[in-house]
Amino acid sequence: MSISFGISALPGDEDDIEFLDGLVGRGHRALELPFTKAFPWKEDRCASFGRLAADRGIALSVHAPYFAMLTIDDADRYAKTRAAVEHTMKLGRRLGANVIVVHPGHDRDRSSDQLLDTALEALAALEPKVRDLGLSLGLETTGTNNAFGTLGDIALMAAEFPWVRPVVDWAHVHATTDGRLTDLDAVRSVYQFLFDQFPAWKLAPLHSHYSHNAFGPGGEIKHIPYGEGSNPVEPVVEAATEYDVDLRLISESRDDASHVAVWKDVRKTADITVDNARPLASGRIEFPDPIDIVTSTDGFRATRLRRPLRITNPDKPFFPDGYTKGDLIQYYASIAPVLLPHLSDRAIVMARFPDGADGEFFYEKQAPSHKPDWMPVAPIHSEVRGGAIEFCTAPDKPSLMWFATMGCIEIHPWLSRTGTIDRPDFAIFDLDPAEGSRWEQVVDAALHIKVALDSLGLRAYPKTSGATGLHIYVPLDPVHSYGRVRRFVETVGRLIVAADPANVTMEWDIPARAGKVFIDHNQNVGGKTIASVYAVRPLPGAPVSTPLAWKEVEELTPDQFTIATIWTRLNKVGDRFAPVPAGGQTLDDADRALGLDDMK
């Protein structure tokens, strides 16, 4: 776990460099820009400030204007409020921010169901405009009883929209619970509720606000200096450590003395050392949020991890160039916040390499009997077995780390979620260069497919396979059968073959593919899997399957992205695959344009 502390503030008389250097000098790693009353900055200022902050390792967030709420139902006002949310998110993208904070709204004498319906309608209207921006809309917990936005309300909205997550204002929760967040047990209950109601990746990091406040029967009245309130910060930090939460804590105090005092108590509480701890990784790579381990009776165990996890042979060489099993486990721990949304509610097939990338491997579907008790499984009926196979799932960081402890270098998720197992939520074009073909041919085939999909009105997202090929994902709502999705991919693939027969093939006879790029439409079959985005591949350098922008397909090659280099890219461009889990498309119009008969 890690704790990033920062304040809510805009630069005053000092210039941006002086302001940001001052934050760094005080040990701050986060900053929330309060655009709460208006939009004080244009896009150019946001872009330049964002670059300066990134250079100094400061994570930015933005608080949208107070009037930018989701529950406005007045026809003359709701367009303005939704436009304000959209504009704040677009400014946030220029800043390189990852969370835009919004107050959900007020009740105005409406029922909870009416308020929720209005908020969901607002989010649905915003979705096509903001889902591809690569940042989250953080809905802040309400501080008064006549406002909308309890953690339960936010959980219902976040369940509908992948780009929505919670922002916990600890002062607000304290006020609306009549001052109950006074000890560790009370704060633990909030964290437990969060993990019960939200997927772990929406809490990584947990963006939160903190201050002392005065409150009455109706909730919060005003902010007061730190030390005059009744909600201590120490339990917030201590419980985050226990729950292995990456916590981003923004001080919303109104005076600098309070910022200083809060930060002092945060540092004091977070400085928890574990005797005889050592790094999990080899030290050859600078991973974000490094994990420490300590010896135990049967190997090692990770410290500050929410789940008990046994780790064996962390120093065992696992890749030809010397990266270790510990490096692999640490990679999956560090990539978890980015990877987990793409594995949510999916059965996992493990590609296990017990002796490392150069050794023998096998695919494992059935969850082994020695899996941790805390790992949930997904039982899926198998016609071959005549019963259910219990697949492992990946709900959180410890589960990813466990896969790696099992020698699972590649993670292969199903194309459909457990709740809609017969309905995939993306179509995949798997471009596999045959012997004698060149990377340039893969690029040409991908661009042909893009032209076809563009003409059919479908969004698509490419990623490197991590080896020699490309995968192109077409996000879908889970409404079509595997057969229909496979037929669509096959039809488009054959159009590409007809357009470029010298370079592209769909021949099943392997010798006939020589010198060409094979489009494998049969990856779109229930039970078949493909290496996940951000999965490691068992090759020298430990390459990683990495999303690309379409303009990068001609510029970049798969070997550029490894467990050592992916972090610079993520810091620069974020997760280019973030829109894929949201779906938002069907094949209906495309099938009609292709002259295909209706097929459910």
- CB neighbours (10 Å) of residue 371? 16
As a whole number of angstroms, the distance between CA 315 and CA 403 comes to 17
Structure-token pair, residue 415: 């194309």
Q: What is the predicted pLDDT for the residue at 273?
A: 58
Q: Specify whether domain 278-413 bears CATH 3.90.920.10.
A: yes
DSSP string covering 196-256, please? HHS-GGGGSSEEEEE-EEEEETTEEEEEE-TTSSS--SHHHHHHHHHTT--EEEEE--SSH
As a whole number of angstroms, the distance between CA 307 and CA 242 comes to 10
Taking the CA atoms of residue 141, residue 143, residue 145 and residue 147 in that order, the dihedral angle to the nearest 10 degrees is -60
> Is 3-270's fold the same as 426-594's?
no
From the options 3.40.47.10, 3.10.20.90, 3.20.20.150, 1.10.3720.10, give the CATH code of 3-270. Answer: 3.20.20.150
Q: What is the predicted pLDDT for the residue at 559?
A: 86
Q: What is the predicted pLDDT for the residue at 271?
A: 65
Q: What is the predicted pLDDT for the residue at 175?
A: 93
Q: What is the predicted pLDDT for the residue at 598?
A: 60
As a whole number of angstroms, the distance between CA 264 and CA 248 comes to 15
Task: Write out the H or E segment, with its range, that includes residue 400.
Answer: helix 397-405
The label of the residue with tokens 């197992």 reads: 421
DSSP secondary structure letter of residue 419:
G
Q: What is the predicted pLDDT for the residue at 1?
A: 64
Identify the CA nearest to 184 among candidates 248, 234, 245, 246: 234
Identify the CA nearest to 466 among candidates 286, 281, 319, 288: 319
User: Which CATH architecture is the domain 426-594 placed in?
Assistant: Alpha-Beta Complex (3.90)
pTM of this structure: 0.82
Extents of the domains making up the chain: 3-270, 278-413, 426-594
Residue 380 main-chain phi, psi, to 5 deg: -130, 130
Q: What is the predicted pLDDT for the residue at 106?
A: 84
Half-sphere exposure of 94 (CA within 13 A, CB side): 14
| R_g over Cα of the chain | 25
Task: Write out the H or E segment, with its range, that includes residue 135.
Answer: none
Q: What is the predicted pLDDT for the residue at 272?
A: 56
Per-residue pLDDT of the chain (600 residues; tens, 9 = 90+): 678 899 999 998 889 999 999 999 998 999 999 999 989 999 999 999 999 998 888 999 999 999 999 998 887 788 889 999 999 999 999 999 989 999 998 877 888 889 999 999 999 999 989 888 888 999 999 998 888 999 999 999 999 898 999 999 999 999 999 999 999 999 999 999 999 999 888 998 899 999 999 998 888 888 999 999 999 999 999 999 888 888 999 999 989 999 999 999 998 887 655 667 889 999 999 998 888 889 988 889 988 788 889 999 999 999 988 899 999 999 999 999 899 999 999 999 999 999 999 999 999 999 999 999 999 999 998 887 778 999 999 999 999 999 999 999 999 999 999 999 999 999 999 999 988 888 899 999 999 999 999 999 999 999 998 778 899 999 999 999 999 999 999 999 999 999 999 999 988 888 888 889 999 999 999 889 999 999 999 999 999 999 999 999 998 888 889 999 999 888 888 889 988 998 889 999 999 999 887 655
Strand order in the sheet with 292-296: 278-279, 292-296, 299-302, 310-311
